[in-house]
Amino acid sequence: MVDDPDLIYLDGNSLGRLPAATVARLERAVVREWGADLIASWEDRWWLLAEEVGDQLAGIVGADSGSVIVADSTSVVLFKLVIAALQARPIRRTIVTDDLNFPTDNYALQGAADLLGGGRQVVRIPSEDGIHGPIGAIEAALGEDTALLSLSHVTFKSGYLYDMEHLTRAAHEVGALVLWDVSHSVGVVPLQLLADQVDLAVGCTYKYLNGGPGAPAFLFVNPATAATLPNPIPGWWGHQRPFAFDPEYFPDFGARRFLSGTMPILSLSALPPGLEMVNAAGVDAIRRKSRALTEFFCELANTDLAPLGFTIASPGNADRRGSHISLRHPDAWRITRAMIETARIVPDFREPDNIRFGFAPLYTTFREVATAVARIRDLVDRGVHLEFGAARSRVT
């Protein structure tokens, strides 16, 4: 990792840090593969890269080789799989989700329902406390009209961790398909997509997988159903013989059929070092440290920050949370600015009053957690945040 001893970076759940090996890897991709080898790199390297990276990911999410591919952005792969799922359950009209889901996921669900029409609708089950997933209400909502259950495995704001196996089974009991967005769990919570009989999953690679800003997304399609699902955006990368330039489209087998156009190779080339680190450490070990980090932070938040008006807006039970913790505070925005600009701590702010702290076990230390809490207590205690305006910029 690029080192800055002063900085306490607690936003690895938004943008993971730069692995040292990635610098050389990318330079090679640019200077040698593109600059010198030019189109020969398609055959020698790039064409296979998406599959290689998919296989590295398969190990991390508990899937078989060939069932995970890297492609597009999370929104686009989500859209593709939602359309495919709705088409695989043509007489069912309902998609069930919750209001803790990442908003853009819900835009895509709604967009897909609107596009296919026929009375299709998204039912968004509300969380009672804005923190915990409404499991009971979700189970009650599942029925013979449910085509798809789609949820974030770990929710983006509160960090609630759903029981994937349990809800997948519940969806299957009514004949629905299930699609998990594992963006906030992949690489930090053990996943068993195949053992849990998950039908579909998507995720992003730039959080705990350290793949770089806006790195390509990935998708998982269970081999049991892959062959029956059409890609709504057919493209040459998903063709059985891409370089035949066949006038007719013949979809490839397995997850590959969900590829569309040419992949952004430079961004893709940045992925392997981060994936190698996660595979080397092992997700079980990463999860153990993650639990210990969030436990430690919650303990300190309760003793040192609660008296200053902070409340924890994440599950108290470590079994039911991912690797980030949200604190609420009426002055959350100004405190976030003060942390970044005066205390060398980087969390992120989420509307309206959440400060989100991400703990990336590969590089976040217990000492950093303790120091961060001490610095936050100090700055709020001294009213440093009151010097910051309440006006918000476009990007926070």
Q: Which residues are catalytic?
A: 102, 181, 206-207, 356
C-alpha 22/C-alpha 274 separation (Å) is: 8
Contact between 33 and a second copy by CB under 8 A: the answer reads yes
Is 311 a binding residue for a second copy by CB under 8 A? The answer is no
Residue from 331, 316, 219, 205 nearest 269 by CA: 205
C-alpha torsion angle, residues 24, 269, 189, 300 (rounded to 10): 40
Q: Which is nearer to a second copy, 51 or 139 (CB)?
A: 51
Task: Return the residue of 27, 299, 378, 387 that touches a second copy, per CB under 8 A.
Answer: 27
Q: How far is the CB of 212 from a second copy (least distance, A)?
A: 5
Indicate the residue among 187 and 232 with the shorter CB distance to a second copy: 232
Q: Pick the closer one to a second copy by CB: 287 or 350.
A: 350
User: Whole-number minimum distance, CB 48 to a second copy, in Å?
Assistant: 9
Q: Which of 255, 357, 249, 262 is nearest to 310 (CA)?
A: 357
Q: Identify the three-state secondary structure at position 65.
A: coil
Residue 168 or 354 with smaller CB distance to a second copy: 354
SS (H, E, C) 238-269: HECCHHHCCCCCCECCHHHHHCCCCCCHHHHH
Q: Given the rule CB under 8 A, which of 4-12, 144-152, 303-311, 315-323 is the region that contacts a second copy?
A: 4-12
CB of 337 to a second copy, least distance (A): 12
Q: Report the residue from 55, 199, 331, 348 that binds a second copy according to the rule CB under 8 A.
A: 348
Q: How far apart are CA 16 and CA 205, in angstroms?
A: 9
Selected from 21, 31, 224, 285, the binder of a second copy by CB under 8 A is 31
Looking only at residues 161 through 190 of this chain, which bind a second copy when binding is defined by CB under 8 A? none
- By rule CB under 8 A, what string of x and - marks binding of each residue 264-293 to a second copy? xxxxx-x-----------------------
Structure-block tokens of residue 88: 């695989």
Binding mask 99-118 for a second copy (x = CB under 8 A): x--xxx-xxx-xx---xx--
Q: Which of 348, 32, 332 is nearest to 159 (CA)?
A: 348
CA distance 378 to 298: 17
Ramachandran assignment for 150, one of left (phi > 0), alpha (psi -120 to 50 degrees), beta (any other): beta
- Residues 193 and 39: beta-carbon distance below 8 Å: no
27-35, 56-64, 363-371, 379-387 -> range binding a second copy (CB under 8 A): 27-35
Within 8 A by CB and 6+ apart from 315, the residues are 131, 132, 158, 159, 160, 161, 321
Residue 329, Cβ density class (10 Å: 0-12 exposed, 13-18 middle, ≥19 buried):
buried
Helices within the chain (DSSP H only) = 20-27, 40-41, 47-61, 74-88, 103-116, 135-141, 164-173, 223-226, 265-269, 271-281, 283-300, 332-342, 366-381
C-alpha–C-alpha distance, residues 135 and 127, integer Å? 9
Indicate the residue among 14 and 185 with the shorter CB distance to a second copy: 14
Binding residues among 46-65 for a second copy as defined by CB under 8 A: 46-47
In the complex, minimum distance from the CB of residue 102 to a second copy, in angstroms, rounded to a whole number: 8
Contacts of a second copy in 73-102 (CB under 8 A): 73-76, 79, 83, 99, 102
Work out whether 363 is an interface residue with a second copy (CB under 8 A).
no
Interface of this chain with a second copy, residues 192 to 211, rule: CB under 8 A: 204, 206
Count interface residues toward a second copy (CB under 8 A): 90
- Rounded to a whole number of angstroms, the minimum distance from the CB of residue 31 to a second copy is 6
**Counting contacts by CB under 8 A, is residue 350 touching a second copy?**
yes
Q: How far is the CB of 307 from a second copy (least distance, A)?
A: 29
Could you say which residues in the range 203-262 bind a second copy, by CB under 8 A? 204, 206, 212-217, 231-237, 239, 241-247, 249, 260-262
359, HSE (Cβ side, Cα atoms, 13 Å): 29
Instruction: For residue 189, give both structure tokens.
Output: 């919570």
Nearer to a second copy, 185 or 260 (CB): 260
C-alpha–C-alpha distance, residues 96 and 274, integer Å: 33
Pick out residues in 140-159 that bind a second copy (CB under 8 A): 156-157
Nearer to a second copy, 137 or 233 (CB): 233
Nearer to a second copy, 142 or 217 (CB): 217
